[in-house]
Structure 1
Amino acid sequence: MYIADEKRYDRMYYRHVGKWGLKLPPVSLGMWQNFSFTDSFENMENMCHTAFDNGIIHFDLANNYGDPYNGAAEENFGKILSRGLGKYRDELCISTKAGYDMWPGPYGSKNGSRKYLTASLDQSLKRMKLDYVDIFYHHIYDPETPLEEVALALDNAVKQGKALYVGVSNYNAQQTKEIKKIFDELKTPFIINQPSYSMLNRWIEEDGLKDFACENGLGLAVFSPLAQGMLTDKYIGTEPGASKRPWMKNQPDEQTVEKLKKLNDIAAERGQKLSQMALSWVLRDGKVTTVLIGASRPEQIVENAQAVFKTDFSDEEIKKIDEIIR
């Protein structure tokens, strides 16, 4: 039976989610990849235990994560909880999401209807064998469903005790502003947005979402902080366009590879790997609450967790990085 490391909280610090009382570690474990039935369960369990032993208390899932069918990641995580990690439930922040295609027919397709969101959360709780999740997100904006309906569905999840807090994912600044107004009227604990963000993907700065969240007491949990693996040393010295991950939509071209090499030089001067510096950069100004990292082995989690202790950048470093990635 798993017994957590007694020194786990000596290895991490925590940030408030916006203005709210909930705190998250600056690095959280995302289960988008490598938690399928086609992956090694022993490795999944070791990754979760390693994360928790290093003070990473936030585990992020979604209803559609997993292979060969949607929900596999939640089922595997439920098994990991039942085999020992679950006895620490009150120390864990578990989040899940709903919004993408899940089951046949109009009620299971990509949407934000009250029927879909309610059914999906019930399914997620059953898969993980939980009474509630800490954060329940609407996974993607649905132009065919009124925001009032989305907000009421999420608010109802809180009122039913099936979620403690709610959030949105892949919403831009204007969409976030509009749904926040409804949540404020309902007095729903709407605390966080989960957008993509990295050195190579700065849309939340250009859109204004990053500043809006900070100014309005919302947290940001960003996914793909390593640009789906591009901001690692994997491609440095390899042929442009090469990929060990066929599911990746983005492939580094020759120009991007040159940028990666220059960024890697700066990272080396800071005593970091490129992946570590990329995470530190996302966390640099305190406006991002946590970065959601993916991992294929426990050692990657330990390595990337160190990035949270080196988020200070000199003006010269910021200038050099901006010149490379702009």
Structure 2
Amino acid sequence: MQDAAGAVMTFFESASAGNATITVNGGSGGGEGGTIFFNRQSDGGTASLALFNNGELDIGRHGHRLLTVGSLEGDGLVFLGARGLAAGSNNRNTAFSGIIQDGGISHGTGGSLSKIGTGTLKLSGANAYTAGTILSAGGLVINNTTGSGTGAGAVAVDAGTLGGKGIVAGGITVGTGSGTGAFLEPSIDASKPTTLTIQSALTFKADGIYTYKLNTKRARADQVIANGVTIESGAQFNFVAVANTRLTLGTVFIAIDNTSVNPITGPFANLPDGSIFTVGRNNFQVSYSGGDGNDLTLTVVP
């Protein structure tokens, strides 16, 4: 199903998009793009939504707080108003480089994004929605270069894996404290180690896991930058070595660059401060006061 440039498609009352594939195109020559509205009690089902250029999705007048759709992709515009969008019910892997924001026809504020389903959603736009992000399954990859890939609000990783090389403005909480496992893995979707930048605080709950990749052949590793770090009792550190090259003694890897003036609170349960562990041909010593005094570092030792 294709929405032509400038055309409007509206789902209202109990109408459902079912499992349709809906493409919304932008206007040519600077013209108005197509728009799809979900109003009142309508349902997004498992529909695949593809928005291009200035093609739009607007859910601000939906009758429920949350609208579920199968997947989101393209580089168009999403207007949430004061509603939440849950994407991923068809379990596809998709990428969206457009802008997700509040506003739209309802002029509402307080929009949110939820990632559901087993697929992975990649976001690379400077998103501007304000009421936060929830990851409950699958993967969410943040690859923006400006602004915040997850808008202004906090990010809750209740389950699944969050990663990427982008920038997140709000605080990130990994795990719920009682779940079966939630993961922070910067290079989740990359062939080489990457750095995820968090401009606010990072918290690992008891079921939170930091998956950290270190390429011994290139002496490069993942890194998380965060403005304050809390590691609650039970949280785990998952070290993944790529290759098995002997590293130069004294090499220091900063696993978490804590930009706060405060020290990291609490160690990972399986990574005590001062301990030494061996992976392949290398021994690493752990410090939660490394770097400029309050970073988590791994130093290659004899």
TM-score by length of 2: 0.28
Select the structure that is richer in strand: 2
Q: Which has the higher contact order (CA 8 A, sep 6+)?
A: 1
More helix by share: 1
